[in-house]
Amino acid sequence: MSFSERLLSRATRSMGVSFIREMLKATKGVEGMISLAGGMPSPDSFPKDLLAGLFQEVVEREGADVLQYGASEGDAVLKAQILRHEGDTSVGPDEILITDGTTNAIYLFTRALIDPGDVVVCEAPSFSGSLVAIEACGAELAGVEMDEEGLVVERVRDVIRAKRADGRIVKFLYVIPEFQNPSGRTMSLSRRRDLIRTAREAEVLILEDQPYRDLRYYGRRLPSLWNLARDEFGDDRTVTICKSFSKILGPGLRLGFAAGPAPLITAMASWAQKVTVSPEGVAQRAVARFLERGYMAAHVERINGLYRAKRDAIIAALKESMPTGIRWTEPEGGLFIWVTCPPPIDTDILFTEAAKAGVAFIPGSKFYTAGTMRRDEMRLNFSYAGAPDLREGVARLACILRRT
């Protein structure tokens, strides 16, 4: 072990490698490989021309302001535009924080709340990128099963009870209620109400992660937990929502925001100040002008058209070629399909077979916390590949599944 390795902190040394990152690395750039593995938006979805114009304009006209050190809680101009765009007239500027994407919001929220060993309840499965950010703050994750309606709230109550009986402190519930990554599931309205009721009764917080809320291709939008808590329960303390511009404008912008109770937002800003000083100034203002000029509605409509076609293409391909016994979700939005296989299929093993056949996916096991693991599922992404590749990728997978 080298000198510098020996000096690494215990926390750093206990950090595992990201299997998903390793898998993506192993399949990236391989000749003929069709990847349904990552979660990247389509490059065709980026509003390149509009952003190019706005970046140039913002630097030229507002450079003295936006190239200067900025506020840790984010650009006031962007905050005002976000609240206007979201239609949240009741939210004060001290209840919203601009972050470097949602991952950063999740990290700051957890940082502000968690003492080592405190418990965070999450969906099982859930997005591993968020889970590692939560664990990095010393939290212990407790995964709770989902069904077609989303998180099974009754089990959340059981877990909170059990953890408390064990002397543990449960601080918050981390949920992705819409087009969940990885399962594509959307939490039903009655579950949303039940979850808020449960959190209020148990006096734990909810962190609502909503990166896909605007990517709806069919059906009607449900109220967010954030809206429900405020409008139906008159409660502005329990839910903090975070949203991201990553899947709408481009993840390279590294912009998102969190809205929640003022004391929590202040605590998050205080941590942000110590680590990143402030979000990136030019990008914040360019996105503020994007919203101000009303470009967002037409843009979201365009990308929803693009993704609707991809979603329909992958579902048609699954229907056409998958052998009987294979089941999958048919989400009304988002970027992912969740496939469940009958026994004895193990998708960790299938991954290697599939890679040899030129198609990549993420095995379901990579989205579970310790103790809740399943190995009969896989996540398929449909936002990145084109329709012909989606069809061919699914056909290759179906061919291997038929042989297994």
Ligand X SMILES: Cc1ncc(COP(=O)(O)O)c(C=O)c1O
What does the per-residue mask of binding to ligand X show for 24-43, with x meaning CB under 6 A?
Answer: ---------------x----
Nearest partner of 253 among 245, 243, 263, judged by Cα: 245
- Which of 53, 129, 138, 386: binder of ligand X (CB under 6 A)? 129
Give the number of C-alpha atoms closer than 13 A to the C-alpha of residue 292, restricted to the C-beta side.
Answer: 12
Binding mask 234-253 for ligand X (x = CB under 6 A): ----------x-x----x--
Which residues have CB under 8 Å from 6's CB, separation 6+?
none
Structure-block tokens of residue 138: 């010393």
Residue 208 binds ligand X, judged by CB under 6 A: no
- Measured over the CA atoms of residue 141, residue 273, residue 267 and residue 84, the dihedral's sign is negative
The residues, any chain, with a CB within 8 Å of residue 248's CB and separated by 6 or more, are 45, 214, 215, 296, 299, 300, 303
Q: Which is nearer to ligand X, 70 or 279 (CB)?
A: 279
Residue from 167, 221, 247, 254 nearest 332 by CA: 221
Instruction: Give me the 250-269 binding string for ligand X, x by CB under 6 A, dash otherwise.
Output: -x----x-------------
Number of residues in contact with ligand X under rule CB under 6 A: 15
Strands 256-259 and 239-244: antiparallel
* 331 scored as a contact of ligand X (CB under 6 A): no
Q: Which of 209, 214, 377, 389 binds ligand X (CB under 6 A)?
A: 209
Minimum CB separation from ligand X for residue 103, in Å? Answer: 3
| Residue 268: both structure tokens together | 């998050």
Q: Which amino acid, one-letter code, is at 157?
A: R
Name the one range near ligand X by CB under 6 A: 7-15, 95-103, 341-349, 352-360.
95-103
Among 46, 107, 127, 382, binds ligand X (CB under 6 A): 127
Among 151, 176, 187, 268, binds ligand X (CB under 6 A): 176
User: Distance from CA of residue 227 to its chain's centroid?
Assistant: 19
Question: What minimum distance in Å lies between the beta carbon of 307 and ligand X?
Answer: 14
Q: Which residues of the chain form contacts with ligand X (CB under 6 A)?
A: 39, 101-103, 127, 129-130, 176, 181, 209, 211, 244, 246, 251, 256
